[in-house]
Each structure stands twice: as C-alpha cells, then as structure tokens.
Amino acid sequence: MRLATRVDLHGPTNTITSKTGAYTTTTATTTYSLDTIVSNTVALNGHTELAGLSHDVFVSNTGFFWNRYTPFQTGAITLGNASINDPLSFAKPPLPDFSNRYRSVNTVQQSISVGDTIGFDKHWSTLLAASQSWIHMENYNKQGATTSKYNTNGISPTASLIYKPLDNMTAYLTYADSLQQGDNAPAGSANAGDSLAPYRSKESELGYTVDVSQVTLGAALYRIERPYAYVGANNVFAEQGQQVNRGLELTATGAVTRDLNIFTGISLLDPRLFDTGSASTSDKQILGLSRVVFNALLDYSVPAIAGLGFNINMNYASRRPGNLRTQTMSTAIPSLISARATERKLPANQ
C-alpha cells in the first residue's frame, strides 16, 4: 500500500511573556510538508490441539518504507505583540512555498512476529509472542548529503498469564519489552529534523475485564518505562532522562440498549521524568501529559428511521505542564491518560 500525505501547516502560537498577560504571536512552518509510505503486511493464524493443550498460533510479517520531505524554508515568523486584556488581530504574513522541498528522512522497518496462546484448561492460559525488527534510518540535508544514520535490530518479547474464573471474566498479567523508533528533533533545536536512535520501552500491566450483558467493563494498572528526549540547555534534542508512567485505566464499552452504544474511559496517570542530572527537571511531571483524562462517546440509532443516528463525544483533560520545570508531582495523586505512551500488547478476551 502506498500512502502520500501533504501537510501545509503554519498554525499561530501565543506565548505569554509577562505575568500581566502580555503575549507574542508567532506562526511556524512544520518540519515536514510531505510523507510517502509504502507498507506491507501478511499474516497467518490457526488453532490446534497438542498433548492435551490448545494452541492459537500466529505468524506475521509487517513493514514500511517511509520518506519525509521538508520545505527548504522553515522557521518561526513573529506576527506581533499584544495583551490578553487588549488582544489584536495580525495581518497574514508571507508564507513559504511548501511544494519547494527536499527529502530529509528515510526510514525502513521490517518485523517478523510469532506467537502462541496456550490453553491449559478452561480457566488458565498463557500468551507467548516475540517480534524481530530491523530498522534503518537516514537523515539528509538540503544538498542531499547524509547527516546521520543508523541500522539496528532487536527482539520485542511479550508474555501474558491469563485466568478466567468465569466465562464472562478475564484477569491477566502482561509484560512487554518493545523496540521502537526514536523521536525526531523538533524545529528550532540545533539538530532539528534528526532522528534519534531506537528506544526500548518496557511495560507491566495487571488487568481485569468482565462482560455484563453486552457491556464490557475493564480495569488495568500499568507501569511503563522508556527513554525520554527533550531540548536541553545546549539547544540539542537528545535522550536526557527516563520516563516512568504509572497509571490506572477504567473502561466501559458496548451496547447499553439495542439502540445505544457507549465507549467510555477514564485514566489516572503519574508520569514522571527521572535521571536527568538536574534538580530543575528530575522528578517532574512529563511535558504535555495530563494527570486525569476522561472520554465518553455515546452513539444512538433512531429506531424509527433506518440509517439515522446521533452521537456525542465528551472529553476532559486536567492541567498539563508546558515546560520541564513544572512543580514536583505529589505521590498521593495518580494521573490519567487514555492513550499509552508506548505500544500496548494485551491479551484479547478469550
């Protein structure tokens, strides 16, 4: 499959510059204006009985070839200064030509995955899986010369112990160790556009689900560790700490009635940054993550009119830090987030 996406973004940003509400308005071009992706995937799965045990096995191969293109002209444009008490509208400035671009990043990744869910009896089973990944990345400058590159490979294992006390209940304990691409340096940093070497993320999760009528209720406690990169005092984007997320996630999904479906979740997250070597950033809340997130999507189909439906989506996110020197987090208050910081590898309901 080939996917090409062109993005012409130059969103305005208001930066508070004083306690009295003065601000500066800028607009910045994005680092990338075109992405092209060619992907491939093939998978086989099956079921067998062997030596008194059931086996649900799978093998898959997935990969992609990804090119990213950057405009020759990038950067921030200052529109003007104003105050919250006296806001102003600024004229549209001359913007760069997003079609005048060069290939700045090429990433190739291929993975082979195998796994087996072994059933011991109607109550106990275990999931064992592993992926072997190969990742190649190159960064290029405006002249087409390679500025950085890496080739790496590694295995990402996953293991789950699954217990079903009743047919409608599932408890599980999962551990996953995942190799994933590194982040890209943001615009404005000394190494803007460069891709960092791949990370290893580790996750442990304890969860429980129960089916009540046609609604599935779920609860999960999890802990995620991964390297964390940010722009330091030297204006270089690099790995400079360890991100540790500890959280609780509660979900409810399914059909409340024949015509009403719900998809709801609330997350409590304690996201901390450690091992930065600086008291001003270590043991602080992770940049941009809320400690409480709630989402509820209600979908209603009108019985009397086929094909007619209504839905409402409600979202809430608590305050989140705008810089890495936000106040130290309290250990008494956990936090929430509905989208995990790393890939989740959880067993499906058996």
Model pLDDT for residues 200-255, shown as the tens digit of each residue: 999 999 999 999 999 999 999 999 999 988 888 888 888 888 999 999 999 999 99
Give residue 1's pLDDT band: very low, low, confident or very high (50, 70, 90).
low
- Strand partners of residue 160: 127, 174
Dump pLDDT digits (tens) for 307-334.
899 999 999 999 887 665 443 333 222 2
Which pTM value belongs to this model?
A: 0.74
257 and 340 housed in the same domain: yes
Question: Which stretch of 65-74, 113-122, 340-349 has the lowest confidence by average pLDDT?
Answer: 340-349
171 and 153 housed in the same domain: no
Give residue 260's pLDDT band: very low, low, confident or very high (50, 70, 90).
very high
Residue 231 resides in a domain:
yes
Residue 38 resides in a domain:
yes
Average pLDDT over residues 160-186: 92
> Which pLDDT belongs to residue 223?
96
Contact assessment for residue 223 and residue 239, using Cβ atoms and an 8 Å cutoff: no
Average pLDDT over residues 74-103: 86
Pick the more confident residue, 122 or 5: 122
208 and 78 housed in the same domain: no
258 and 302 housed in the same domain: yes
278 and 236 housed in the same domain: yes
144 and 284 housed in the same domain: no
> Which pLDDT belongs to residue 334?
28
What's the whole-number average pLDDT of the chain? 85
Residue 119 resides in a domain:
no
Residue 126 resides in a domain:
no
> Which pLDDT belongs to residue 280?
75
| Counted domains in the chain | 2
64 and 82 housed in the same domain: yes
Q: How far apart, in whole angstroms, are the C-alpha atoms of residue 97 and residue 84? A: 32
151 and 172 housed in the same domain: no
Residue 102 resides in a domain:
yes
> Which pLDDT belongs to residue 30?
65
Q: Which residues span the domain enclosing 302?
A: 164-350
27 and 108 housed in the same domain: yes
Pick the more confident residue, 341 or 90: 90
User: Percent of the chain beyond pLDDT 90?
Assistant: 53
Residue 241 resides in a domain:
yes
Pick the more confident residue, 340 or 157: 157
216 and 146 housed in the same domain: no
9 and 55 housed in the same domain: yes
Pick the more confident residue, 20 or 161: 161
86 and 143 housed in the same domain: yes
Q: How far apart, in whole angstroms, are the C-alpha atoms of residue 346 and residue 115? A: 13
